[in-house]
Amino acid sequence: MAKLDAKKLHIATKAIHVGGHPDKETGAIMPPIYQTTTYAQASPGKHQGYEYSRCHNPTRTRLEECMASLENAKHGLVTASGLSATMLVMHALPEGSTILCGDDIYGGTYRMFTTVFHERHNFIFVDTTDLKTLKEKFEEHKPKAIWIETPTNPLLKITDIKKVTELAKKYKAMSFVDNTFMSPYFQKPLELGADVVMHSVTKFINGHSDVVGGAMMTNKTSFYKKVWTLQKSIGPTQSPFDSWLVLRGVKTLPIRMEAHQKNAMKVAMYLEAHADVESVVYPGLKSHPQHAIAKRQMSGFGGMITFFLKGDIKRSKKFLSKVKLFALAESLGGVESLIEHPAIMTHASVPKKVREEIGLKDNLIRLSVGIEHIDDLINDLDQAFKASKK
Ligand SMILES: *Cc1c(COP(=O)(O)O)cnc(C)c1O
């Protein structure tokens, strides 16, 4: 076989073939799991690029190549979890950096910034969808970096990546985008001007709820090298077996994302028409306040839906205990549908006062719509609405 020029391929082909090339030694179509700690050297210091698996592992290298190619990035680094990718980039920023940060972000990221890195950096939380206020914050604080998540978790607010990264460039601030919710199939932040994109590969990238992992991609070689050195020095690398599982899962990313969004659109429309629902937030709905930006910067709307149930927290709890197909669980992005209550579950680490300020109310329910048959999903929600009314 001759060598592929991956740059010319479509994302559906890259997801299968980049990093998925046949094994040189045996021709095995599936990549070997290099379950090894160390590598034999021909003479001291003379090796094939692999010395020790905390630093490099050939199975992980394949996944890094694949992740970089999906985001059209020069470099990709795969880490033990999404949060460890975030941790490494936070260490890579100079001590004492002022960082503007979205005010509605993944609860674990919020916890890391406010309880781990708050002594190293100065975080300023701001609604990154509000460009006017954001501009004022840039002017006032002259930050070193901006951290955005779009769509946000769980309110699904959309930040205009192009406009925000342009603003960041003007103030010489680095821009970071958590692209976990959209995956590179629907959104490519680097092409919209971001410096660094990160993922919890635990979610849509792997897609099968059987791995925890993370990744960060960038075109900035010096920043990549810094983060790689930090990974080597601190140690949050992914095991070869987990990298192998993600390599397998990511092959179907494009068809899974299509299926997620097809189902999510139908579920969102069903919810919007339901008498027991106060409101629905889904970027694909015309009622979404930033639907126009979503259409511009994303090529699809993803599988995540947030809705507000009519009634008090008791009704929400009852509804959540009556679903049969949707599993009541944290996490998202797997082929199976999940449902959760952010205020009690994923976002419990966000103080109640802050939750109320940003609109993360007690009747807010988050769905990760899977790829089951749509009728079964809607029937399940339907019976849970009825059963929770009694
Ligand atoms: C899950 C998640 C993370 C953290 O990733 P882990 O793999 O759980 O460490 C970060 N950002 C978003 C948007 C997530 O959903």
SS (H, E, C) 159-202: CCHHHHHHHHHHCCCEEEEECCCCHHHHCCHHHHCCCEEEEECC
> Is 132 known to be catalytic?
no
Q: Nearest residue CA, atom 8 of ligand 1?
A: 82
Check pocket membership of 148 for ligand 1, CB cut-off 6 A: no
Q: Is 376 exposed, middle or buried (0-12, 13-18, 19+ CB in 10 A)?
A: exposed
| Residue 280 and residue 145 in contact, taking contact as beta carbons nearer than 8 Å | no
> Is 160 known to be catalytic?
no
> Is 256 known to be catalytic?
no
**CA atoms of 53 and 292, how far apart (whole Å):** 45
- What was the pLDDT predicted at 356? 84
- Closest atom of ligand 1 to 109 CA is 10
The total of other beta-carbon atoms located within 10 Å of residue 232's CB is 13
**CA atoms of 100 and 128, how far apart (whole Å):** 9
**Rounded to the nearest whole angstrom, what is the distance from the C-alpha of residue 200 to the centroid of ligand 1?**
5
- Closest atom of ligand 1 to 149 CA is 13
How far lies 86's CA from each of 111, 213, 241, 324, in Å? 12, 12, 22, 35
- Taking only the tens of pLDDT, the chain with its 390 residues reads 777 888 889 999 999 999 999 999 999 999 999 999 999 999 999 999 999 999 999 999 999 999 999 999 999 999 999 999 999 999 999 999 999 999 989 989 999 999 999 999 999 999 999 999 999 999 999 999 999 999 998 899 999 999 999 999 999 999 999 999 999 999 999 999 999 999 999 999 999 999 999 999 999 999 999 999 999 999 999 999 999 999 999 999 999 999 999 999 999 999 999 999 999 999 999 999 999 999 999 999 999 999 999 998 899 999 999 999 999 999 999 999 999 998 888 888 888 888 888 888 999 999 999 999 999 999 999 999 999 987
Q: Where are the alpha helices (DSSP H) in the chain?
A: 11-17, 58-70, 82-92, 107-115, 131-141, 161-170, 183-186, 221-234, 240-250, 253-272, 291-297, 313-322, 352-358, 374-389
- What was the pLDDT predicted at 184? 98
**CA atoms of 390 and 380, how far apart (whole Å):** 16
Report DSSP state, residue 309. E
Check pocket membership of 53 for ligand 1, CB cut-off 6 A: no
Helix, strand, coil percentages for the chain (3-state, nearest 5):
40, 15, 45
Question: Tokens in use for 131?
Answer: 């460009």
**CA atoms of 14 and 8, how far apart (whole Å):** 9
> Is 203 known to be catalytic?
yes
Closest C-alpha to 357, from 110, 98, 113 = 110
Report DSSP state, residue 2. P
The one catalytic residue in 106, 185, 224, 282 is 106
Check pocket membership of 212 for ligand 1, CB cut-off 6 A: yes
Closest C-alpha to 203, from 318, 324, 87, 366 = 366
Check pocket membership of 153 for ligand 1, CB cut-off 6 A: yes
Q: Nearest residue CA, atom 2 of ligand 1?
A: 200
What domains sit in the chain, N to C, each tagged with a CATH number?
A: 37-250 (3.40.640.10), 253-389 (3.90.1150.10)
The total of other beta-carbon atoms located within 10 Å of residue 235's CB is 11
